[in-house]
Structure 1
Amino acid sequence: MKEENINKLNTLFSNLKSEEQKRRESLEKKKSEEDLFIEGFKNLCKNFIDPKMQEFRRMLRENGFGCKITFSEEHTTGSGIHSQCHIRLQVSRNVNSNFYANDKFPHIMFTADKNLKRIGVHLDTIFQNGTGTAAMKPQTYTLETLDEDMIEKEILDSVEKILVNR
C-alpha cells in the first residue's frame, strides 16, 4: 500500500479512537453526575422527607388512618418495567391495614429522575374500589429547590386531597 494511503488510514483510525474515547468519557461523566444526584436524593429523603412523612404518619394514625412509608431504590423488574428511586407515604382508612396484602393505597411519592436531575411528586387519591386521580404533579424540583417547607407543603396538600376523596 502506498505511504499516503497508510497515513490516511492511520489518521482515520486515530480519529475514530479519540471519538470513542470522548464518548466513553462523556458516558462516565454522565454516570457519575447521575450517581451524585441519586446520592443527594437519598440524603434529602433521610434528612428531610422521611422525618416529615413520619410526622404526618403519627398524626394520621392518631386520627384513625393507617400509614406506611417505604423507600425504594431504582430497579427494573423482570418484565422490563423501570422504577425510579422514590419514597412513598401510603394512606389507608383503617389504622390496622395490612399494607402487605395489597399495595393499591392512595399515596404521595417523591421520585428521583436521574436523567433530568429533577424530583417529581406523584399523587394517587384512589382508595380501593373508589374514584380519584393518580398522576405526577406538574411542579418539579431540584435538590436545591426542594426544602423542608416545600416538602411539608407538598405532603399536606396531598394528604388533604387523599382524605377529601374518601
Structure 2
Amino acid sequence: MKEENIDKLNSLFSNLRTEEQKLKESQEKQKSEEDLFIEGFKTLCKNLIDPKMQEFKRMLKQNGYGCKITMNEESKNGTGMNAQPNIKLQISRNVESNFYTNNKFPHIMFAADKYYKKIGVHLDTIFQNGTGTAAMKEQTYSLESLDEESIEKEIVDSIEKILMNK
C-alpha cells in the first residue's frame, strides 16, 4: 500500500477514535449529572419529604386513617420501562388496612425524573371500587425549589382532595 494511503487511513482511524472518545465522555458526563440529581433527590427525601410525610401520617392515624410511606429506588421492569425513584404516602379509610396485600390506595407521590432533572408530584384520589383521578400534577420542582413549605402545601392539598373524594 502506498504511504499516502496508509497516512490517509491512519488519519481517518485517529479521527474516528477521537469522535468515539468525545461521545463516550459526553455520555459519562450526562450519566454523572443524572446520578448527582438522583442522590440529591434521595437526600431531599431523607431530610425533608419523609419527615414531613411522617408528621401527616401521625395526624391521619390519630383521626382514624391508615397510612403507609414507601421510598422506591429507580427500577426497570421486564418490558424495559423505567420506574422513577419516588417517595409515596398512601392513605386508607381504615386505620387497620393491610397495605401489603393490596397496593391500590390513594396517594401523593414525589417522583424524580433524572432526564429532565425535575421532581413531579403524582396525586391519586381513587379508593378501592371508587371514583377519582390519578395523574401527575402540572407543577414540577427542581431540587432547589422544592422546600419544606412547598412539600407541606402539596401534601395538604393532596390529602384534602383524597379525603373529600367519596
TM range (shorter): over 0.9
Structure 1 position 20 matched with structure 2 position 17: no
Worse overlay, 78-87 or 41-50: 78-87
Match of 2:49 in 1: 49
SS of 2:140's partner is coil
Structure 1 position 61 matched with structure 2 position 30: no
Unaligned regions of 5+ residues in structure 2, if any?
Answer: none
Q: Percent identity?
A: 74
Match of 1:87 in 2: 87
Tell me how far 1:8 sits from its aligned partner: 1.2
User: After superposition, where does 1:104-119 map in structure 2 within 5 Å?
Assistant: 104-119=104-119
SS of 2:143's partner is coil
Paired residues, what number?
Answer: 166
Tell me how far 1:71 sits from its aligned partner: 0.1
Q: Per-residue CA shift, 1:24-78, capped at 9, x if unaligned?
A: 1111111111111000000000000000000110111111110000000001123
Tell me how far 1:145 sits from its aligned partner: 0.5
Rounded Cα–Cα distance in structure 2 between residues aligned with 1:81 and 1:61: 35
4+ residue runs of structure 1 moved beyond 3 angstroms?
Answer: none
Amino acid of the structure 2 residue aligned with 1:104:
K
Rounded Cα–Cα distance in structure 2 between residues aligned with 1:26 and 1:82: 22
Match of 1:5 in 2: 5
Structure 1 position 144 matched with structure 2 position 161: no
Amino acid of the structure 1 residue aligned with 2:10:
N
Rounded Cα–Cα distance in structure 2 between residues aligned with 1:128 and 1:16: 58
SS of 1:136's partner is strand
Rounded Cα–Cα distance in structure 2 between residues aligned with 1:42 and 1:154: 18
Amino acid of the structure 1 residue aligned with 2:28:
E
Match of 2:98 in 1: 98
Structure 1 position 38 matched with structure 2 position 38: yes
Amino acid of the structure 2 residue aligned with 1:118:
K
Q: TM-score by structure 2 length?
A: 0.98
Rounded Cα–Cα distance in structure 2 between residues aligned with 1:15 and 1:106: 56
SS of 2:104's partner is coil
Match of 1:135 in 2: 135
Q: TM-score by structure 1 length?
A: 0.98
Rounded Cα–Cα distance in structure 2 between residues aligned with 1:87 and 1:57: 14
Rounded Cα–Cα distance in structure 1 between residues aligned with 2:39 and 2:113: 12
SS of 2:123's partner is strand
Amino acid of the structure 2 residue aligned with 1:7:
D
Match of 1:158 in 2: 158
